[in-house]
Amino acid sequence: MNEIADVLQCYDAIVNREKRVADSNTGHHVHIGAFTALYEEYMAYVFRYINYRVGSRTEAEDLTSLVFEKALAAFHRYDHRKSAPQTWLLTIARNTITDHLRKSSKRKTMPLDDAVGLASADPSPPEATETHEEYEKLQTCLAVLPQREQEIISLKFGGELNNRQIASVVGLSVNNVGTILFRAICKLRNCLKGWSNER
């Protein structure tokens, strides 16, 4: 109940603030409704993309928070005519992950423990395929791919961008994106097959 009260209080403060700013005729106020809609619509894509990149739910949550804080700070500069909101948010997410990887010098070598520990709390994967072991294998195979391939796979399956949008985010041609995507998927398949054969 307290949480709901807090949220309502926040909304009141925001609505008042918005009204105040709008009344001052600056025309530069943050469109709260628009940002909230953006958050509700695209937050899951950002989270899934980040989770593919870092493998750990905890890290993914931290980084997703950071992405939306950055997005909020830059929202007044966002121009929907230049890029779709999904592309804009995933570009911020991509840069955030690049910074994160550089600072932590972590190339997805340790998040599997985290994945094992938390997978049961995650309702999303279908039960038929959800096993911690298989998830671990997939993350391990994903982690050994070159960064660019990881990035494109994550933008495709996590961010659900089409190849043209991915091309604009990573600065490649659409044909190159298609080629890298196909190659990376085949590599993942071979990696998982190789794993099965070893067992």
Site residues for another protein, window 104-143 (CB under 8 A)?
104-105, 107, 121-126, 129-130, 134-135, 138
Three-state SS for 31?
A: coil
**Which parts of 160-179 interact with another protein (CB under 8 A)?**
160, 162-164, 167-175, 178-179
Q: Which is nearer to another protein, 73 or 194 (CB)?
A: 73
Find the binder of another protein among 1, 103, 120, 199 (CB under 8 A): 103
Find the binder of another protein among 5, 28, 120, 196 (CB under 8 A): 28
Q: Are 46 and 89 in contact (CB under 8 A)?
A: yes
Q: Report how far residue 101's alpha carbon sits from residue 121's, in angstroms, rounded to the nearest whole number.
A: 26
Find the binder of another protein among 30, 110, 116, 143 (CB under 8 A): 30
**Which parts of 60-99 interact with another protein (CB under 8 A)?**
60-61, 64-65, 68-69, 72-73, 75-77, 91, 94-95, 98-99
> Alpha carbon 82 to chain centroid distance?
20
Tokens of 39: 């958050």
Q: Which is nearer to another protein, 102 or 199 (CB)?
A: 102
Q: Report how far residue 64's alpha carbon sits from residue 159's, in angstroms, rounded to the nearest whole number.
A: 12
As measured in angstroms, the least distance from the Cβ of 142 to another protein is 9
DSSP 135-170: HHHHHHHHHTS-HHHHHHHIIIIIS---HHHHHHHH
